[in-house]
Amino acid sequence: MKRAIIVGGGLSGLTLAYVLQQKNVGLDISVYESDDRPGGKIWTEKNEGFLCEKGANGFLDNKPRTLELCKILGIDPVRSNENSKKRFIFLNGKLNALPESPTAFIKSDLLSWRGKLRMLLEYNAPKGPDDETVADFIIRRLGREALEKLIDPMTSGIYAGDPYNMSIKSCFPRIKELEQEHGGLFKALLKIRKQKKQHLRAVKQKEGDSKVSVAPGGTLTSFFNGAQTLTDTLAEKLGTRLNLGAEVHSITKNGNAYQVHTSNSTVEADIVILACPAYASAGILKDFDSDLSKPLSDIPYSHVSVACFGYRKEKVGHPLNGFGFLVPHIEGRKILGTLWDSSIFPNRATEGYALLRTMVGGAKSPDIAMQTDEKIISMVFDELKPILTLKADPDMVRIYRWQKAIPQYLLGHSAKLKILDERLKAYPGLYLAGNAYRGIGMNDCVENGYRLADEIIASLST
């Protein structure tokens, strides 16, 4: 029986291990995780009646694979409520609701009339190069005002990144594909809208068709006891295959097999999958192949801290009837945005209380995330107080600091992936997995885990 070792017990590694186990392809599978807990940056913590997410707080239900995995595992996802559709941008010193229709957008104060008219020119904007920064793409197609007031906060919310350095092709591949396939975003939306109408008519005639493929943006989905429910369940299913507190330092080649050197022992394997962060994989491969290690070490990560504030509702003047808000960089604030977790999911706060989760730091202000707890708490409170009319100090405070939180897909990221893919051809049985390559979200980790499982299984038959 061939042996496969997966390095990293985050969502990517756990999904891959579970799928390979379920496929029953005759592999002896082991997962090595350096931490004393599984899950990586999916980490839920219960504090004083509040359910705090240290990292990812859920996934969108517009991609069926994660929902399929939940069904197989026997866990029930919980979709966010109607409040999740009400999102805000903090602009010009106040919260502005994101419009939910073209008419509402025209009437809104988010952009000036000049900015709105500039967006209309997108219909005739020329196609751009194969890849460019997010900023260059948006400025060319929609204008600078749309970038600064709409897209900049969105990139902060998803990647904690800087649109002036991020790759549009790697960060938002579907948007770039729409331009290349249809000649523009508005042209693509018109065609997609027509296709959806046809699809909806077909759905009415077909019982049981999932709503997943219909929702354009999807609904944020998690679990009653938090996002960690998914990784905990995967870890439980793996049982003794999962080794915690086992750090992998390096690998070497021994004939056709690999030797994996851990903090506890040296283990031989036919297949090795590095499902840890890119910088950790770079360290493991440093002495094995510098041409593999270098591109991995060149993938940067943004520093982010999460500040969870728990409040009695009467201490918050704002009704918190929404998802939360993001802050454009041009506003000159230090926080990236705040999610009103208890307004969109059950069991995030006890009755009569509210949970606010604020992100600070990111690619533009990494040092802020690394400040002391006291400075972060004071800064977040001072910025939230006038926005949400906070009437007192929070009843519960937790600060979660991630020195290397989110991988940044900078311009040239796809070229790095090509180098890695080409170099890996020299090492059959060696693979890379995780969110540093082709998608950072929970859906991406699950989908890529399934895809890699299929690739590994196919290699076994050759």
**Which DSSP state fits 319?**
-
Residue 70 is predicted with a pLDDT of 98
Question: Residue 184 is encoded by which pair of tokens?
Answer: 């523009």
Question: Which segments of the chain belong to CATH 3.90.660.20?
Answer: 44-83+302-407
Cβ contacts of 234 within 8 Å, gap of 6 or more: 11, 14, 15, 17, 18, 38, 73
Long-range contacts of the stretch 223-227 (C-beta < 8 A, 24+)? 223/75, 223/76, 223/77, 223/78, 224/76, 224/78, 224/346, 224/347, 225/44, 225/51, 225/347, 226/44, 226/51, 226/53, 226/57, 227/42, 227/44, 227/53, 227/55, 227/56, 227/57, 227/58, 227/442
Exposure of 342 in the CB half-sphere (CA atoms within 13 A):
22
Residue 389 is predicted with a pLDDT of 98
Residues of the chain falling short of pLDDT 70: 198-216
What superfamily in CATH does domain 44-83+302-407 come from? Protoporphyrinogen oxidase, mitochondrial; domain 2 (3.90.660.20)
Residue 11 is predicted with a pLDDT of 98
Residue 450 is predicted with a pLDDT of 98
Cβ contacts of 268 within 8 Å, gap of 6 or more: 3, 254, 257, 258, 259, 260
What superfamily in CATH does domain 126-215 come from? protoporphyrinogen ix oxidase, domain 3 (1.10.3110.10)
Angle (CA) 378-379-382 rounded to 5° is 85
Q: Does domain 2-42+229-299+410-460 have CATH number 3.50.50.60?
A: yes
- Helix residue ranges, H only, 286-391: 290-297, 341-344, 366-369, 373-388
Question: Which segments of the chain belong to CATH 3.50.50.60?
Answer: 2-42+229-299+410-460
Angle (CA) 21-27-33 rounded to 5° is 65
Residue 374 is predicted with a pLDDT of 98
Residue 212 is predicted with a pLDDT of 35
Residue 24 is predicted with a pLDDT of 83
Classified as helix, coil or strand, 400 is: strand
Classified as helix, coil or strand, 402 is: strand
Per DSSP bridges, beta strands 430-432 and 242-244 are unpaired
